Structure 1
Amino acid sequence: MSNEKFLGIAILLFIIYIGITTYPKLDIVSGFSAKSVASGHFIDGRSLEIIENGDNYIDNVRLATNEINEQDIFVISSAFGLKKRKAIYREGLGVTLINDDFDETKPYLIPKRTKIETNLSFPYGNLEPKDSLLPEVNYEKLNLAVGDAFDKKGEKIKRTRALLVIYKDKIIAEKYEEGFSKNTKFLGWSMTKSITATYFGILQHQGKIDINKPAPVNEWANDERSKITLHNLIQMNSGLEWEEDYGTISDVTKMLFIAEDMAKIQLEKPVAFQPNTHWNYSSGTTNLLSGILRRQFATHQEYLDFWYSSLIDKIGMHSMLIEPDMAGNFVGSSYGWATARDWAKFGLLYLHQGNWNGEQIFDKSWAKYVATPTPTSNGEYGGHFWLNAGGKYPDVPKDMYFCGGFQGQKIIIIPSQDLVIVRFGLTEDEDFDFNGMMRGVLESLRK
């Protein structure tokens, strides 16, 4: 065989291999890109350039081509001209990634929002934080620790976009990357999971649900899944089968970028382990919980309103938007947007054990519950919150727990230090020294 013929066969086989392994992933690539561009642009006003060079600068995703339609408020994305996907923006709901069967002309409901104007300063009102210096804070050390969390000019290593430090309810440090500000709305990704779980704490506080009873899922009534409790789901140790792998076509990528009804994906999975014996992180479980919440209300409107009236607007997170799937379920696993200050209010609610300026939103015991390690999680996970009980961050108190999201989004709660730290960026633990950042902040507090 001639070298030319051998080379030709080798190239053909390579093309076939790439086609077999890559082509099915293009739906995921273009779907991710369309959703990301539409949300970043229509919710936060980011330019296509900022999104493509920042939010979407991820292997494979950055290869997508994106077109923004300003007039009809949607985005079309494709990968190499193939697998075009569409994401639409609807006022009051945010962005939804849709398929060809979705009826864009069909009327839709939006949550009723209530914004109460007050003359109180942050965090309990709409006024700017009071300008005050705390004698126990070494501001020189603090500013060095905060500044060190950001890249020097021209670098793209740490990629922090926002860092907010709140001590004794006061903002003692606040810094943003150029192009971002206190008004920027940030996607929390899986930090949204902690918000979703909180609604079960609220309903339990109201005497409307018992998390220790079997999950109210009629489809499980006559099989072994009937033993799964809400507690098991909230701790992510239900035993249900689930694959959380973002690098391939898996349960989670099919759910987020293909499924019409995201609440159904985990619901339809079989049992792989006995409940309470095997911790397995699952975005599907959180979206199932969102679907279970929907079933607690007589109407879809009541479900939509509850997310805002019972928590989000009640504690003044007025910039927040939780986006829905095609079936109208809030994507509680991933799609919450808000300013850094509003995300911080959620952390403060937990720091104060559910009490918001005198009103108890959930029982004090709920804050303890979510920070209690899930069996077999090695002290890393609780009730839809990540923990430091296992000492992952060695220079940080073990009572620290946090909401965590893709690319290093974090709301860090340290009860023993009366401290909340909020960080947004584009880097995970492997590339950003969270332990060092928290250590620096803690060392600035003279105690």
Structure 2
Amino acid sequence: MRKLKWVLLFVLLLGIGVYTQYPKLTIISGYTAKNMTSSVFVAGRSAESVVASDHASGLISLATEQVDPESESASSSVFGMQKRRAVYRKGLGAVLLPKDTEIPETYRTPERRQTPSPLPYPIGHGQPADTLFPEVDYEQLERGVDQAFANPDQQKTRTLAILYKNRLLTERYAEGFGPETPILGWSMTKSILATLYGILEHQGRLDLLDRPEITQWKADARKEITYNDLLRMQSGLSWEEDYTRISDVTRMLFLSEDMTVPQIEKELVGPIGKTWYYSSGTSNLLSGLLRKHLKDDQAYLNFPYRELIDRIGMYTMVLETDLAGNFVGSSYGWASTRDWARFGLLYLNRGKWGQDQIFDPSWIDYVTRPTDNSEEDYGAHFWLNAGGKYPEAPSDMYMANGFEGQHVFIIPSKDLVIVRTGLAEDPDFDLNAFFREVLAAFP
């Protein structure tokens, strides 16, 4: 009888757990279906490697995924519940599908212009040139790289590349990854998105003090929000950026068909231009607003590649779109470590790529100017070290950061670009210790 009571108690508690956690299951299955589809069909990884590493911890380890190579899709569920399916579309990446929905047989894709250059990387696509700089302590540099991979179970570093004075000094890759493996940048994609606005401004097609025309905002104070407010994430609009439960951001990424809408629908909770907090919804709103400055949907799909990505040779990059055809500018940019480094190098060289001025040099000053009430940690869709968050790094360092420790560090005073990707972030990957070791190799 006592054993039966324990069994009944276990079943009761299990039932309560499933009941209370059931709504979360669609987020778990949505995340794993989407990430599996992108990892296999965008990054070219095996499903087994994704399950063994990306999906091996926390609640997402409860999911069971199935990959269908023929339809280029993956599905996922948690104990058979809340099944979700994602499909790959060439040129557009993967997208989660609502129940009983299929991708149209025909759809627009970006028209890409790719002509690989024989010049050495990073300017071209040839082998990196062997360059020795007498001022660099190469033994110390190697110790710094070793430190980044010293504890793989905790640090979970996947790739590392260090560029100095427009040359690749060193790179290292964990098993299963290489120089051409596309890596999901997560919120590093926000910095790509912001750059598109810098290009629009440079082309004279946008003033950052302009106010976007949004029908839902015309009758209230939200009509005073400017592009500058959105780029600095100080619009004052309500937003909950919490990935541990069902929140604004998880509903947007794993339930919304049009990811530009959730932020539009939010009300003001603070003064415009004075209230700062992080919002992926704002980035996707900006991604949708980009369409208003381009003549049609095809021009919208082409713009990031024609004016930025392919223009600087980031040929591995894919910006995934939502079901409504909007770039998911908050989170879903994939590129190889070398191509993420190209992006950092463009900023290190103040918007110039060879003889091509992609955006005005003043754009650097804009994105690196601390936003009010951000504790000098944030500029305009770039993170900053102006407030000394990382004391072992120079205060002029700024960076594109992403979930689970994706980073493009740009350090003008050292003439450095450093890219680190992985599955763990500070403090599990100790950034200050990393900076202390690596930067000691440079004058």
- Counterpart CA distance in 2 for 1:138 and 1:4 is 67
The answer to whether structure 1 residue 270 and structure 2 residue 267 are counterparts is yes
Question: 1:34 aligns to what SS in structure 2?
Answer: helix
Q: How many residue pairs were aligned?
A: 443
Question: 2:379 aligns to what SS in structure 1?
Answer: coil
Q: Report the alpha carbon displacement of residue 45 of structure 1 after superposing the two structures with TM.
A: 1.7
Q: Please name the residue that 2:433 is paired with.
A: 436
Q: Report the alpha carbon displacement of residue 219 of structure 1 after superposing the two structures with TM.
A: 2.5
Q: Please name the residue that 1:91 is paired with.
A: 90
Q: Please name the residue that 2:122 is paired with.
A: 123
- Counterpart CA distance in 2 for 1:140 and 1:4 is 64
Question: 2:58 aligns to what SS in structure 1?
Answer: coil
Q: Please name the residue that 1:341 is paired with.
A: 338
Q: Report the alpha carbon displacement of residue 36 of structure 1 after superposing the two structures with TM.
A: 0.7
The answer to whether structure 1 residue 191 and structure 2 residue 198 are counterparts is no
Deviations 1:124-182 (A, max 9, x none): 11111111111111111101100110045xx5111101110000001111111122111
Question: 2:153 aligns to what SS in structure 1?
Answer: coil
- Counterpart CA distance in 2 for 1:440 and 1:422 is 15
Q: Report the alpha carbon displacement of residue 101 of structure 1 after superposing the two structures with TM.
A: 5.0
- Counterpart CA distance in 2 for 1:444 and 1:240 is 44
Deviations 1:90-145 (A, max 9, x none): 11111111112533234100000001232321121111111111111111110110
Match of 2:370 among 357, 368, 373: 373
| Amino acid of the structure 2 residue aligned with 1:424 | T
Q: Please name the residue that 1:179 is paired with.
A: 176
5+ long unaligned stretches in structure 2: none
Question: 2:94 aligns to what SS in structure 1?
Answer: strand
Deviations 1:188-244 (A, max 9, x none): 010000001111110000000111121232331221100111101000110000000
- Counterpart CA distance in 2 for 1:330 and 1:434 is 30
- Counterpart CA distance in 2 for 1:286 and 1:185 is 22
| Amino acid of the structure 2 residue aligned with 1:233 | L
Question: 2:312 aligns to what SS in structure 1?
Answer: coil
- Counterpart CA distance in 2 for 1:102 and 1:334 is 23
| Amino acid of the structure 2 residue aligned with 1:263 | T
The answer to whether structure 1 residue 398 and structure 2 residue 429 are counterparts is no
Q: Please name the residue that 1:55 is paired with.
A: 54
Question: 1:403 aligns to what SS in structure 2?
Answer: strand
Deviations 1:293-325 (A, max 9, x none): 022222111100001000000010011001010
Q: Please name the residue that 2:404 is paired with.
A: 407
Q: Please name the residue that 2:314 is paired with.
A: 317
| Amino acid of the structure 2 residue aligned with 1:290 | S
Contact 2:116 2:313 in 1 (8 A): no
Deviations 1:336-379 (A, max 9, x none): 11110000011011111111112111111111111111111101
Question: 1:53 aligns to what SS in structure 2?
Answer: helix
The answer to whether structure 1 residue 142 and structure 2 residue 141 are counterparts is yes
Q: Please name the residue that 2:280 is paired with.
A: 283
- Counterpart CA distance in 1 for 2:331 and 2:57 is 17
5+ long unaligned stretches in structure 1: none
Contact 1:379 1:390 in 2 (8 A): yes
- Counterpart CA distance in 1 for 2:59 and 2:118 is 48
The answer to whether structure 1 residue 420 and structure 2 residue 424 are counterparts is no
Q: Please name the residue that 1:72 is paired with.
A: 71
Question: 1:44 aligns to what SS in structure 2?
Answer: coil
Question: 1:269 aligns to what SS in structure 2?
Answer: coil
- Counterpart CA distance in 1 for 2:128 and 2:98 is 44
- Counterpart CA distance in 2 for 1:103 and 1:219 is 30
Change (3 A) 1:371 1:210: same
Moved more, 247-256 or 37-46: 37-46
- Counterpart CA distance in 2 for 1:287 and 1:395 is 33
- Counterpart CA distance in 2 for 1:274 and 1:102 is 41
Question: 1:18 aligns to what SS in structure 2?
Answer: helix
Question: 1:380 aligns to what SS in structure 2?
Answer: coil
- Percent sequence identity is 49
* 1:238-253 matched pairs, under 5 angstroms: 238-253=235-250
Question: 2:96 aligns to what SS in structure 1?
Answer: strand
Q: Report the alpha carbon displacement of residue 12 of structure 1 after superposing the two structures with TM.
A: 5.4
Q: Report the alpha carbon displacement of residue 19 of structure 1 after superposing the two structures with TM.
A: 2.5
| Amino acid of the structure 1 residue aligned with 2:220 | D
Contact 2:155 2:425 in 1 (8 A): no
Question: 1:68 aligns to what SS in structure 2?
Answer: strand
Contact 1:151 1:160 in 2 (8 A): no
The answer to whether structure 1 residue 260 and structure 2 residue 257 are counterparts is yes
Question: 2:216 aligns to what SS in structure 1?
Answer: helix
Contact 1:151 1:157 in 2 (8 A): no
Moved more, 117-126 or 382-391: 117-126
Question: 1:78 aligns to what SS in structure 2?
Answer: strand
| Amino acid of the structure 1 residue aligned with 2:201 | Q
